[in-house]
A and B are shown apart, each in its own frame.
Chain A
Amino acid sequence: MVSPLMAILLFFLVLPVGMILIVSFWQATEFSIIPAFSFENYEFLFGSSVTFRVFMNTFKYAVVTWVFTLLIGFTVAYFLAFHVRTQRWQIALFLLCTIPFWTSNIIRMISWIPFLGRNGIANSALMSWGVTDRPLEWLLFSDFAVILAFVHLYTLFMGVPIFNTMMRIDKSLIEAARDAGANGAQILWNVIVPLTKPGIMIGTIFVITLVMGDFITVRFMSGSQSANVGRLISNDIALLAYPSAAATAIVLLCTVLIVIATLLRFVDIRKEL
């Protein structure tokens, strides 16, 4: 007996991944795809320095985005959980944080373009304040723009689980720490941060997987000048090189799984689920 839930998982998760795995061993020429069992795609991937560079670039985006989303997400969650006194205000401010998510990802991303462009609002403001006399070129179509968009898109995914964990911290622990002579920074570091780790970990998993799997943000915000693994796959698909795309996808999937498995060794998130 297969329960309905298992059937859904089988059909929508196991089956597609299985198919990708199978296709990754097929061969392809410019005009045909040949069912086979060959390691050609993987040999090509692991033999190419491009793969290595692109993976490194993907990691760089993931790590830098993680640092910024963590700093911003933690600060906002901390403010909401420990400084906002009434629940009504907590809910109101929390909803305020989600307002940007009422529009689509793509629109939020594209709306940065006129803002950051050579003659955009950011540059004209900076020039009128006299901060710079020439438009800053690195504001748009650069790694800066990519990271900015990532941070904007994904901070909420970091903030929400952290906020959720913080709300479960017994307030009397804070008083007990104060009773023991801890100052604000000591309470933060010795009580709140350790107890918030599971939330940080869940947020980290969200952000890392979202950034590692992204291709559209990198394409738009870097003006096609930077690459990550997602773009590698999307380029292969555009060229109908499905076996190669499948192999890259499998390598990416394994990489992300290894990263998450490593992270989970450090923090126990079972209580949060």
Chain B
Amino acid sequence: MQKELELVSVTKRYGDTVAVDAISHHFKPGGYACLLGPSGCGKSSTLRMIAGHESVSDGSVVLGGKDISHLSPAKRGTAMMFQNYALFPHLSVSENVAFSLKMKGVDKAERLAKAGEMLELVDLSALADRLPDQLSGGQQQRVALARALITRPQVLLLDEPLSALDPFLRIRMRGELRKLQRELGISFLHVTHGQDEALALADEIVVMNNAVIEQAGPAREVFNAPRTAFVAQFMGGHNVIALSDGHFAIRADDVRLTMRDAGELQGNITSVEYQGMHVAIAARIAGDQEVVAMVPDTTFFENPQNPGDAVGLTWDQTKLHKLSA
């Protein structure tokens, strides 16, 4: 039976500043959710309130129908994986993993056996006797993961878990995180500021900005149907255009170039950037707005354009998406 995590107008105030402003959200149980937003948007505070490392100023955190807002971190059924992993530098890998069992008074042989099982899960059995600073970043991350999972949490909270890794490792580790979440079937709640990371990992994306939730939903829905200009811009790949009847978002790869007078809009090309599979063409249109068109490279090179050229921009009207703000 999966327990459901729910936020009920959760608020965090630091003095006069509101870091998290009465947010409510119901996370789907057993899924991979990402809290996405720019730095300072309140996503980390939200995670830390769920974990119990930050007190809730108002509202409540509910897990499996029980208000856990005022329980100690270990009694909530959550476990947290810290941004810099926070491994105990004086303890070996297996002692790090077994730490919570030691705190519960489990005897040494038993807790090290349990830690061994967890290390097998993250494929680190061979390094059980090393100290954390003898491990690579990716290995340290797996130790942190094993240490969090040994408490058998209902929800695993991950605070920017991939930000300390190099780009290559980041992509590999996110694959492993996703795989692990499927195997364990528990909820993962992952805080990140990278939209590509969120899109790659999440079943459900919660976009935050200025202490509130801007939009929440399945990854594909948030990307394809952004509700606000902020979400469209933050998720990337979209143009936000002010037209006579309001603001609209359109995916850059849905914008096509055409003859000067044949398009919906006219513009002058300001830059052409070859990106491999696509060519990104930026054009300045009336009202000093910039529109980017992502044109497949074969299409572009059949009829190459240069900065300064006047072009028409066109799209399928059904792809144009009205924004509420």
Contacts and interface: CB of A to CB of B under 8 A. Distances in A.
Interface of A: 170, 172-173, 175-183, 186, 190-191, 194-195
A186 B99 CA distance: 11
Contacts of A175: 53, 73, 80, 82, 86
Given A186-B103, A190-B102, A178 B86 contact: no
Contact of B82 (A172, A181, A183, A190): A172
Nearest to A191: B88
B12 interface: no
Contacts of A181: 72-75, 100, 103-104, 151
Interface of B: 51-53, 72-75, 79-80, 82-84, 86-90, 99-100, 102-104, 147-148, 151
Contacts of B82: 172, 175-176
Contact of B88 (A176, A178, A179, A186): A176
B84 A178 contact: no
B74 A179 contact: yes
A16 B307 CA distance: 80
A89 to B, nearest CB: 17
The A interface is mostly helix, strand or loop, or mixed, namely helix
Given A178-B73, A179-B51, A179-B73, A170 B103 contact: no
A170 B87 CA distance: 10
Contacts of B99: 177, 180, 182, 190
Given A186-B103, A190-B102, A178 B74 contact: yes
Nearest to B84: A172
A59 to B, nearest CB: 30
Nearest to B53: A175
B80 A179 contact: yes
5 residue pairs, one from A and one from B, having the closest CB atoms: A181-B74, A180-B100, A176-B86, A172-B86, A194-B90
B83 to A, nearest CB: 8
Contacts of B102: 190
A172 B160 CA distance: 14
A184 to B, nearest CB: 11
A81 to B, nearest CB: 17
A179 B53 contact: yes
B187 to A, nearest CB: 17
B89 A195 contact: yes
23 contacts: A170-B86, A172-B83, A173-B88, A175-B73, A175-B80, A175-B82, A175-B86, A176-B87, A177-B88, A178-B53, A178-B74, A179-B51, A179-B52, A179-B53, A179-B73, A179-B79, A181-B74, A181-B75, A181-B103, A181-B104, A186-B103, A190-B99, A190-B103
A181 B84 CA distance: 19
A170 to B, nearest CB: 7
A180 B147 contact: yes
Contact of B84 (A170, A183, A195): A170
Nearest to B102: A190
A170 B88 CA distance: 10
B72, B82, B88, B100: residue with the most chain A Cβ atoms closer than 10 Å? B88
Most buried by A among B84, B86, B100, B102: B86
